[in-house]
Amino acid sequence: MNRPTCDNDCTRMGWKQYFLSSMYGHELDVSVPPDADLDDSFIAFDHDEQELIRINGWLFAAVEVTDHEWF
C-alpha cells in the first residue's frame, strides 16, 4: 500500500478528508483511506503535522470535509 507524504498525495490517492474532535478537546484535520473503518483503529494522514498517525476511532467524532472553504 502506498503511503501519502503530503496533502496532494492524499487527494491523488482518493483518501477522504475528515475533521475529528474528541470529548477531551483534541481536534485533528486528517485524511483516511476510503475503506477505513472510523469506529476502529486506523491509519490517517495528519494535515497539520504532515505525517501518518494511528487513530483509535472510538475516541473521536468525525465530520467529512466536503467544502474546503470553511477551513
Give me the residue spans of the domains in the chain.
Answer: 7-66
Write the pLDDT tens digit of every residue in 58-71. 999 999 998 765 54
* Alpha carbon distance 24, 40 (integer Å): 18
Report pTM.
Answer: 0.87
pLDDT at 31 (0 to 100): 96
Residues in Cβ contact with 1 at an 8 Å cutoff, skipping those fewer than 6 apart: none
pLDDT mean across residues, the chain: 91
pLDDT at 70 (0 to 100): 52
Amino acid at 59: L
What is the mean pLDDT for each group of 10 consecutive residues in the chain (71 residues)? 89 95 93 96 96 96 79 49
Name the residue among 34, 14, 27, 25 with its Cα closest to residue 55.
27
